[in-house]
């Protein structure tokens, strides 16, 4: 059976393309797919409850469950002929995929790109034991930018965005939900307290470069959405 993360990502990509008015079977545009997924917790749970003799061979298990095959599986099912690859940068995977998707359209690697991120974790209903100095909240509540903030909480979800150049989208009469004016990625190197710790300087640098690309300033920002741990 197809892994829940692969299934949800495929269904969501189909819905996103339909919302954009794009039929992969009828368009001449080259469509790419860049996907990201969380740890495959579902398959780990399956392995705990079945006899090894009941499992198919390793190659088939990888095809149906391994997140490395997520993008190419969607491309195969939908007949997408543009770039198809998975991005794994932990918590930033979906945003890095979005950045790379914008570059793919800008540089002509494809005419349209679907960017998909998914996490389906069946264990999230079980709760967790709080551990000081780790990423999860002390009381199960996420409070970004609050003095009482003590960490994040887990959740399952899936999201797909369809990107194409703004002039082409307007010419095609596409349903435009937003414009991506700028994006940037970087890495902190070792300029932080520890490997898993965030770097305020690194985050500020990425934000500054994204604003520079967009031709905007910090004063133009009206809404901020951030990762609960601050990483």
E strand or H helix at 160, and its extent? strand 157-163
Residue-level pLDDT at 149: 87
Q: What is the pLDDT of residues 84-120, one digit of tens each?
A: 999 999 889 999 999 999 999 999 999 999 999 999 8
CB–CB of 7/156 below 8 Å?
Answer: no
Mean pLDDT of the chain: 90
Token pair listed for 142: 């996420």
Q: What is the mean pLDDT of residues 204-227?
A: 94
Q: Is residue 229 part of a domain?
A: no
Domain check: are 12 and 56 in the same one?
yes
Task: Identify the DSSP state of 196.
Answer: T
Dihedral sign, CA of 226, 9, 115, 71?
positive
What is the tally of structural domains in the chain?
Answer: 2
Is 207 within the bounds of a domain?
Answer: yes
Give yes or no for residue 231 having a pLDDT over 60: no
- Same-domain status, 95 and 187: no
- Among 50-54, 131-135, 162-166, where is mean pLDDT lowest? 50-54
**Residue 102 has what pLDDT?**
98
Same domain, 110 and 195: no
Q: Residue 39's domain spans which residues?
A: 4-121+156-177
CATH code assigned at 19: 3.40.47.10
Element (H, E) at 11: helix 4-19
> Which pLDDT score, from 0 to 100, does residue 27 have?
93
Residues 68 and 162 in one domain: yes
| 189 and 116 in a common domain | no
Same domain, 196 and 167: no
Please report the pLDDT score of residue 52 as a whole number.
62
- % of the chain at pLDDT higher than 90: 59
Tell whether 20 and 92 lie within a shared domain: yes
Position 133 in a domain: no
Q: Look at residue 167 and tell me whether its pLDDT is greater than 60.
A: yes
Q: Which of 176, 188, 185 is nearest to 208 (CA)?
A: 185
Q: Using one digit for the tens of pLDDT, what is the confidence trace for 38-69?
A: 888 877 777 777 776 666 676 777 777 788 89
Look at residue 160 and tell me whether its pLDDT is greater than 90: yes
Please tell me whether residues 18 and 112 are part of one structural domain: yes
Instruction: Check whether residue 60 and residue 89 sit in a common domain.
Output: yes
Whether 86 and 101 share a structural domain:
yes
């Amino acid at each position: 059976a197809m892994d829940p993360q692969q299934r949800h990502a495929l269904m969501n990509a189909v819905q996103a393309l339909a919302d954009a008015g794009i039929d992969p079977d009828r368009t001449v545009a080259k469509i790419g797919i860049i996907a990201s997924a969380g740890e495959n917790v579902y398959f780990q749970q399956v392995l705990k409850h079945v006899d090894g003799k009941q499992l198919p061979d390793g190659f088939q298990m990888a095809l149906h469950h391994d997140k490395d095959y997520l993008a190419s599986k969607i491309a195969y099912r939908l007949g997408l002929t543009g770039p198809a690859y998975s991005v794994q940068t932990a918590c930033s995977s979906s945003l890095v995929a979005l950045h790379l998707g914008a570059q793919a359209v800008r540089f002509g690697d494809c005419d349209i790109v679907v960017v998909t991120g998914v996490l389906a974790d069946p264990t999230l209903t079980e709760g967790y034991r709080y551990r000081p100095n780790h990423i999860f909240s002390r009381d199960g509540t996420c409070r970004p930018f609050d003095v009482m903030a003590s960490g994040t909480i887990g959740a399952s979800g899936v999201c797909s965005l369809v990107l194409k150049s703004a002039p082409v989208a307007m010419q095609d009469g596409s349903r435009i939900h937003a414009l991506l004016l700028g994006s940037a990625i970087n890495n902190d190197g070792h300029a932080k307290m520890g490997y898993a710790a965030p770097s305020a300087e690194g985050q500020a640098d990425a934000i500054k470069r994204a604003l520079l690309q967009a031709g905007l300033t910090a004063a133009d920002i009206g809404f901020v959405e951030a990762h609960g741990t601050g990483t």
